A = this chain, B = another copy of it.
């Protein structure tokens, strides 16, 4: 899923160095299976999200007052996959007979319900309060979710069947795995309500952007605007990166002073940047 972007052979006069620096750049895109199932608007949005620099989007959100929007307390199952999706949320509580009975008289466990009702591009978000004594979901319901076009699982708690789930084309976040079913310790209580995952609030419908180090939570109403703003800065950043790899001092280059800006604009005229 990653490819070698370029090998920069740098000739540093005094040192007579022969060797270059090799940097691998992640190449992110939405899987065709999901993409084909998305509506027109989502196809465009998800494609942008797949390409957007996560930290730039964070800056856009933070400047709009979203100070608590990045979850870094869970572990990603796949270090090299990006998560792109839309939140479908569930809240779990420690089990007790009276409430359990009332709830299950009305509907099935929410991992069933959410898998069945998932829309293409959805991410199932399980708030189990960090409890890893029981798993909130496993392989079979996730197969159903996958067939529906699901793209990820976020669990503030535990999943079971972890090796089987690791073999599926999803990104997955959790605290730890667990073999135990949900029954001994937890029950699903609320569906599609705001939940807490690792000290961040996720609302149903939020856009989610995940990498190996965590998940950025983007309110749906802001998604287009913050992603566009982040993408707009990419070309300059590539140019800056190139200068640095050529051995330039960081002062003046990042952030760019007037000279660097001028150089950048000239570079745009000369050659198409990528």
Q: Which residues of A contact B (CB under 8 A)?
A: 2, 10, 12, 15-26, 31-33, 36-37, 54-55, 58-59, 62, 64-70, 72-73, 79-80, 82, 93-99, 108, 112, 115-116, 129, 131-132, 138-141, 143-144, 146-147, 158-164, 166-169, 176-181, 184-185, 189-190, 193-196, 199-201, 203, 211-214, 216, 219, 221, 237, 240-241, 244-247, 249-251, 254
**Contacts A17-B36, A178-B72, A250-B140; A24 near B167 (Cβ below 8 A):** yes
Nearest chain B residue, comparing its CB with the CB of A174: B213
Return A169 CB to nearest CB of chain B, in Å: 6
Apart from A18-B36, A55-B160, A108-B251, list 19 A-B contacts with CB within 8 A.
Answer: A21-B169, A24-B166, A25-B164, A54-B161, A55-B181, A69-B96, A72-B132, A72-B176, A99-B194, A112-B250, A131-B199, A139-B241, A140-B244, A140-B254, A143-B244, A143-B245, A158-B213, A163-B211, A190-B193
Given contacts A36-B18, A211-B162, contact A179 B143 (CB under 8 A): no
Complex Cα–Cα for A199 and B180 (A): 14
Q: List 9 A-B contacts (CB under 8 A).
A: A18-B32, A55-B138, A55-B181, A70-B180, A72-B177, A94-B196, A96-B219, A98-B219, A176-B214
